[in-house]
Amino acid sequence: MTETAPAEQLPGQPPLKRVLGSKLLLFFVVGDIVGTGVYALTGQVAGRVGGALWLPFLLAFVVAFMTAFS
């Protein structure tokens, strides 16, 4: 196994803060999964609803809007 030495901090530069905690990381991963699902399912939804593709997007917008302001 290879051991890595800690990085040297250059003088005059502030240290980096570790702000990505486990809760924020969980939200990031869930957002990636949901976002991937949106892109993956758009084609399938378009095949089922045809020219009314705007309707599922409008419905999703209304649900997201109500969730954001609840």
**Would the pLDDT of 1 be above 70?**
no
**pLDDT (average), residues 21-44:** 87
Single-letter code of the amino acid located at 25: L
Q: Which residue has the higher pLDDT, 24 or 40?
A: 24
Torsion of CA 57, 61, 67, 70, to 10 degrees: -150
Task: At 69, list the tokens.
Answer: 């302001």
**pLDDT (average), residues 40-60:** 84
> What does the pLDDT read at residue 29?
92
Task: At 38, list the tokens.
Answer: 């949106």
**Would the pLDDT of 62 be above 90?**
yes
Task: At 63, list the tokens.
Answer: 């649900």
For the chain, where are the E strands, in sequence order?
none
**pLDDT (average), residues 8-23:** 79
